Amino acid sequence: MWYAVVIRILRRRIVLTIIFLLSLTYCLVNLWGNSGNSYKDIEEIEYKREQPLIWREDTISNGTNGERPDECRNSVQGKILLVDDEGYVCHRNNLLSNGCCDSNENIQYTCDTCNTEEGCCAVYEKCVSCCLNPNKRSILEKAMEMASGRQTALFATVSDQFELCLAKCRTDSHSVQHENKYKNPETKFCYAYIEAHESQRDN
């Protein structure tokens, strides 16, 4: 009778050992198979746009005739300021019920906290507003052309200049040095292409 208990224990251990060895083999095969894919290879994946990006001048020339839309998208998350997709910045309390800032009380495409030579601004919403100006298209096209890695993937998913500006003005990894300090803490929201700090460049 005691030998039956021993056999049961051995069977359990054998089964567990087999399961463990199969799992270990599976992990090793997967690790070995993926070892050729470096981070750089992932960075070099091409991301294709499915639709052409809609630029501000395209919207203006497509029959809006300068009239405000019935509804606007806006930057949503600002505690004090918001920017709508027409490029107007307003206080959250003054946002109209249709999601637009009042065009009679606010300036369109405001760059008043921005260093337009660098393409960086002190206030996120004003960065987006300045970025939405149709004359910023060439700057944005260069930023998209020079993008790499996750930014390329992100830029491939945006549908228009508003979405591009929302994404571009969020803190860009190239606007920091040593990964934890802003190059310029006064103007940290950038719509233009920012060259990576030497601490982020590949040697």
Picking from 94, 60, 52, the residue whose alpha carbon sits closest to that of residue 74 is 94
User: Which pLDDT does position 22 carry in this prediction?
Assistant: 81
Please determine, for residue 136, whether its predicted confidence score (pLDDT) is greater than 80.
yes
pLDDT band at 82 (very low <50, low <70, confident <90, very high): very high
- For residues 59 and 197, give the distance between their C-alpha atoms in angstroms, rounded to a whole number: 36
- At residue 29, the pLDDT reads 82
> Average pLDDT over the chain, rounded to whole?
79
- Per-residue pLDDT of 185-203, as tens digits, reads 778 899 998 775 444 444 4
Q: Alpha helix locations (H) across the chain?
A: 2-34, 39-43, 56-59, 124-131, 137-146, 150-157, 161-169
pTM equals 0.67
Under DSSP, the state recorded for 92 is: G
Percent of the chain with pLDDT over 70: 71
The answer to whether the beta carbons of residues 96 and 84 sit under 8 Å apart is no
| Entry field: residues in the chain | 203
Give the pLDDT confidence of 22-50 residue by residue, as tens digits: 888 887 888 776 655 544 444 455 567 77
Nearest Cα neighbor of 76 from 98, 64, 96, 92 is: 92
Per-residue pLDDT, 151: 81
Burial class of 84 by CB neighbour count within 10 A (0 to 12, 13 to 18, 19+): buried
Contacts of 112 (CB under 8 A, 6+ apart): 126
Q: What pLDDT is stored for residue 13 in this prediction?
A: 73
Whether 182 has a pLDDT exceeding 50, the answer reads yes
